[in-house]
């Protein structure tokens, strides 16, 4: 297995990326005030094949995040059937999270990976209306991990797409605290109504169980919700985990390109997933029903850039 570790010399913060397992950043260790904060949850030995690409680290979800109902969709008059995900009635999480990527550039504190559908997954090329190139650059600077994302359409037909990540944030942030001590915060004012994890197309005010606007303990909460109406006074939307006993906070921020946030409490590990998406689950089907689902199309030769930042700070 190919692993790249990048470091910030000034702080000794570091991140490790499993290139052959979806270019998954499965470890980010921030050094702050002489303390080591291990931010990302992943099974030991993940880079060598342990665990599942969708259950560890920061899985990258493209050309669609979450589910497509029964793996079926129609685009430009053509019907497509995707392989169903094992153990599920739908197709989950896109094409890139469990495939090898290619490293195209790297330095001491950064690495850029590339995935092109026709090159890196030619067996899936007929299942999507257009070829695509996805580039992700991880950079460690101070106590911050930056993920810069570029989507490019190299084809002569429009590219339909949605992007998301599925980060597993470890709880608590330091020994001596507990999961229940930690507070999870997200500025979502609405949620999508779900039926077996798929949106019905309706939205409502965020439920009491999923209301994280003021910060909430996960004690007694089992979450698997698609939140929306993310609000911010600035350019960046912020989600956070605060560990009051450790006086530490992990902040994940992203621009308004991301309009949905899935919050999930995995039963197999002490972590919370806060997953920024550019569109809602099954958006390729919902959008064609006249529902504003956030689905995007990129014209031939076009490109789109965005980023997600993860930082550790004192609280």
Domains of the chain by range and CATH? 3-314 (2.70.98.10)
pLDDT at site 137: 98
Buried b or exposed e, range 189-215, using 16+ CB within 10 angstroms: ebbbeeeebbbebebeebeeebebeee
pLDDT tens-digit profile of 245-256? 999 999 999 999
pLDDT at site 308: 98
CA–CA gap between residue 137 and residue 251 (Å, rounded): 19
| Residues pairing with 239 in the sheet | 252
Confidence band of 80 (pLDDT split at 50, 70, 90): very high
**Whole-number average pLDDT of the chain:** 97
Give the CA radius of gyration of the chain: 19
Asked if residue 1 has pLDDT above 90, the reply is: no
pLDDT tens-digit profile of 27-58? 999 999 999 999 999 999 999 999 999 999 99
pLDDT at site 294: 98
Confidence band of 242 (pLDDT split at 50, 70, 90): very high
pLDDT at site 264: 98
Confidence band of 241 (pLDDT split at 50, 70, 90): very high
pLDDT tens-digit profile of 137-174? 999 999 999 999 999 999 999 999 999 999 999 999 99
Task: Provide φ and ψ at 30, rounded to 5°.
Answer: -100, 135
Confidence band of 203 (pLDDT split at 50, 70, 90): very high
pLDDT tens-digit profile of 204-238? 999 999 999 999 999 999 999 999 999 999 999 99
pLDDT at site 136: 98
Structure tokens given for 211: 């209301």
Asked if residue 305 has pLDDT above 90, the reply is: yes
Q: What percent of the chain has pLDDT over 70?
A: 100
Structure pTM? 0.97
Provide mean pLDDT across the span 177-202.
97
Confidence band of 133 (pLDDT split at 50, 70, 90): very high
The count of residues in the chain is: 315
Of the CA atoms within 13 Å of residue 240, those in its CB half-sphere come to 21
What residue spans of the chain are helical by DSSP H?
117-120, 283-286
């Amino acid at each position: 297995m190919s692993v790249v570790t990048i470091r910030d010399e000034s702080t000794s913060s570091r991140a490790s990326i499993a290139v052959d397992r979806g270019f998954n950043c499965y470890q980010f260790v921030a050094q702050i005030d002489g303390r080591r904060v291990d931010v990302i949850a992943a099974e030991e030995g993940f880079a060598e094949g342990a665990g599942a690409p969708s259950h560890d680290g920061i899985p990258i979800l493209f050309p669609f995040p979450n589910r497509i109902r029964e793996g079926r969709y129609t685009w430009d008059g053509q019907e497509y059937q995707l392989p169903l995900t094992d153990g599920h009635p739908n197709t989950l999480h896109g094409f890139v999270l469990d495939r090898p990527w290619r490293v195209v550039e790297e330095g001491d504190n950064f690495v850029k990976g590339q995935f092109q559908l026709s090159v890196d997954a030619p067996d899936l090329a007929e299942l999507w209306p257009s070829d695509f190139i996805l580039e992700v650059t991880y950079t460690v600077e101070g106590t911050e991990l930056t993920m810069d994302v570029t989507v490019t359409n190299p084809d002569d037909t429009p590219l339909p797409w949605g992007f998301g990540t599925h980060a597993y944030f470890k709880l608590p942030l330091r020994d001596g605290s507990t999961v229940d001590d930690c507070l999870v915060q997200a500025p979502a004012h609405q949620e999508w109504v779900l039926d077996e994890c798929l949106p019905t197309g309706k939205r409502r005010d965020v439920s009491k169980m999923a209301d994280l606007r003021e910060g909430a303990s996960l004690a007694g909460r089992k979450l698997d919700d698609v939140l929306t109406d993310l609000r911010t006074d600035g350019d960046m939307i912020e989600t956070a985990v605060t560990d009051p006993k450790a006086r530490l906070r992990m902040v994940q921020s992203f621009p308004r390109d991301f309009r949905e946030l899935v919050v999930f409490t995995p039963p197999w590990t002490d972590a919370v997933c806060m997953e920024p998406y550019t569109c809602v689950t099954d958006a390729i089907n919902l959008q064609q029903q006249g529902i504003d689902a956030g689905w995007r199309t990129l014209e031939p030769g076009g490109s789109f850039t965005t980023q997600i930042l993860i930082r550790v700070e004192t609280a």
